[in-house]
Amino acid sequence: MKSILVIGIGRFGYHLIDQLSKAGDEILAVDSSEERIEPILGMVTSSLIGDTTNESFVRSLGVENFDVCFVAIGDDFQASLETTSLLKECGARYVVARASRSVHEKFLLRNGADAVVFPEKQLAEWAAIRWCSGRVIDYLDYPGDFSIFEIEVPKSWIGKSLAELSIRNKLHLNVLSIRRDSKQIVEFPADFIFETGDTVTIFGADKDIKKSLNLNY
């Protein structure tokens, strides 16, 4: 269980809190509007209404006690920037700030953010890859130009074994799991033979995935 501070309860903040609460984390939600606080009262450990651009208020939160502080403010970049800076000044361990535009990222990082997320942009990228590729079931971008893909098994793999395909040595890809008939297989021998309808979860460098699996992203 982690202790989480979420500042800004817009659409992103709401869904973030929803997921964190399902994980059983302790959550303090903060917003300047009582109206935005009310819908999440049943999902959080505690909540406060206040101005997080005010240093005295931020210090009163005890931000140094939280494992992660999320700045989910989306409609006021100046407030997001000031809040991010104050959190670090007051001793926050790790600050994740939301950005709506790429140009905002460098300012947030310079002013104390440890990481920056782009909810709309990242969802758009995921949706484009998921539904326009034809074979992708799921996709996860991984730091350092790597990715994890769950895909329908390529036709050229069907009827062949892992050893025969030599996926790791020839394609430089790692098979993490195989799904067959809705069952997830995480331990498979070298003579495991792919069948029509199988899906495979692979991990590798983007350049190898694009080349070996003919995926454009």
Rounded Cα distance, 114 and 109, in Å: 6
Closest by CA position to 79, among listed 102, 52, 60, 56: 52
Highest mean pLDDT among 41-55, 181-195, 196-210: 41-55
Mean pLDDT, residues 155-172: 92
Determine the straight-line distance between the first and last CA of the chain, rounded to whole angstroms. 36
Neighbours of 190 (CB within 10 A): 9
Greater model confidence, 116 or 126: 116
Domains along the chain?
A: 3-117 (3.40.50.720), 122-213 (3.30.70.1450)
Mean pLDDT, residues 193-208: 93
Question: Given this model, what pLDDT does residue 134 score?
Answer: 65
C-alpha distances (whole Å) from 131 to each of 13, 72, 124, 135 are: 26, 28, 11, 8
Q: Is the pLDDT of residue 119 over 70?
A: yes
Note the pTM of the prediction, 2 decimals: 0.68
Among 31-40, 60-69, 124-133, 142-151, whose mean pLDDT is lowest? Answer: 124-133
The two tokens of residue 158 are 């069907």
- Three-state SS string over 59-103 comes to HHCCHHHCCEEEECCCCCHHHHHHHHHHHHHCCCCCEEEECCCHH
Mean pLDDT, residues 7-20: 92
Q: Is the pLDDT of residue 135 over 90?
A: no
